[in-house]
Structure 1
Amino acid sequence: MGEGPRTTTGERVLAVARSFIGTPYRHQASLKGVGCDCLGLVRGVWRELYGAEPEVPAPYAADWAERAGEERLLEAALRHCGPALAVAEMRPGDLLIFRWREDVAAKHAGIAAPDGRFIHAYEQAAVIESPLVPCWRRRIAGVFRFPELS
């Protein structure tokens, strides 16, 4: 008997992200089962897949995007995942960055899931899998693919 089909990077990202479901929301945290925010979910997935984070974010307030105006999330995604993809190219396991309003920096992140859903840390709740309904979809500021795993 030969080996089964190879698991893709996207499938592995999705499996790790789903393992965070139920983790309580905790601002600036990134530990599965203990607490994380939306960036912490991405950081925790990255650590589990690649062994270490590519960079550690500086402390940030809940309103950092409104005050700073810097595209920190989009710039970090570009540095570590490469160029943004078209929303139409989105696949399960891709990193999604959201912008609440046109006049502020993007400040929410999640992981694309099958069947028009995504996984994210929902403030004052936990990591959940939600439908990527039109009000979420129109707020997508970038779609990025995690680097290939060996």
Structure 2
Amino acid sequence: MGERIVQLARGWIGTPYVHQASIKGAGTDCLGLIRGIWRELHGDEPEPVPPYSADWGEAGREEKLLDGAMRHLHPVALDEAEAPGQVLLFRMREGAVAKHLGILTAVGGAARFLHAYDRHGVIESPFGDPWRARLVRRFRVP
């Protein structure tokens, strides 16, 4: 399943960043990327996503993204082996809520992940120390 998720995720590369969107080739944000991959795998999304502002993570203290991931994905212990296709959840700064998602595409010394990033669109980035320091949880897609 992990390699299938990586294949689907790479199909989104080049999709522009559009807040709250989830349409391959037209626009997506990081949550929209995960939602789009879910739809490609399973059809309907498990629950509707309410509208959210671009600064939602700065405006509140609720771990909405973490809570949603815990409802619909399978948590992976951080000491368990990394595997391609895992969903990564990041906290962009210490003390802030977790608010960024990606898909692990390669592990080991050349670890990489794919994500929708503001002003960059969907890109594949090195999963190095700066990103690892922000990692909150890893999940498997059911």
Smaller-chain TM-score bracket: over 0.9
**Structure 1 gap ranges (5+):** 1-8
CA drift of 1:102 comes to 2.3
Is the 8 Å Cα contact of residues 87 and 142 (structure 1) preserved in structure 2?
A: no
1:56 is aligned to 2:48: yes
Q: Deviation digits for residues 48-94 of structure 1, max 9, x if unmatched?
A: 00011111211111110111211111111111113342155221000
The change in CA–CA distance for 1:55 and 1:37 in structure 2 (over 3 A counts) is: same
**C-alpha distance in 2 between matches for 1:117 and 1:88:** 17
What RMSD over aligned residues (CA atoms) do the two structures have, in Å? Answer: 1.1
Give the match for residue 131 of structure 2.
136
**C-alpha distance in 2 between matches for 1:134 and 1:38:** 20
1:118 is aligned to 2:118: no
CA drift of 1:117 comes to 0.1
1:43 is aligned to 2:35: yes
The number of aligned residues is 139
CA drift of 1:18 comes to 0.5
Which secondary structure does the structure 1 equivalent of 2:124 belong to? strand
TM alignment of 1:27-38, pairs within 5 A: 27-38=19-30
Q: Deviation digits for residues 17-54 of structure 1, max 9, x if unmatched?
A: 00000000000000000000000000000000001111
**C-alpha distance in 1 between matches for 2:62 and 2:82:** 25
Is the 8 Å Cα contact of residues 87 and 143 (structure 1) preserved in structure 2?
A: no
Larger Rg: 1
**C-alpha distance in 1 between matches for 2:83 and 2:58:** 29
**C-alpha distance in 2 between matches for 1:81 and 1:87:** 18
Give the one of 70, 77, 83 matched to 2:69: 77
1:145 is aligned to 2:140: yes
Structure ranking higher in strand proportion: 2
**C-alpha distance in 1 between matches for 2:66 and 2:76:** 9
Q: Deviation digits for residues 68-126 of structure 1, max 9, x if unmatched?
A: 21111111111111334215522100000000122110000000011300000010121
Q: What TM-score, normalized by structure 2, do the two folds share? A: 0.93
**C-alpha distance in 1 between matches for 2:105 and 2:79:** 13
Is the 8 Å Cα contact of residues 105 and 112 (structure 2) preserved in structure 1?
A: yes
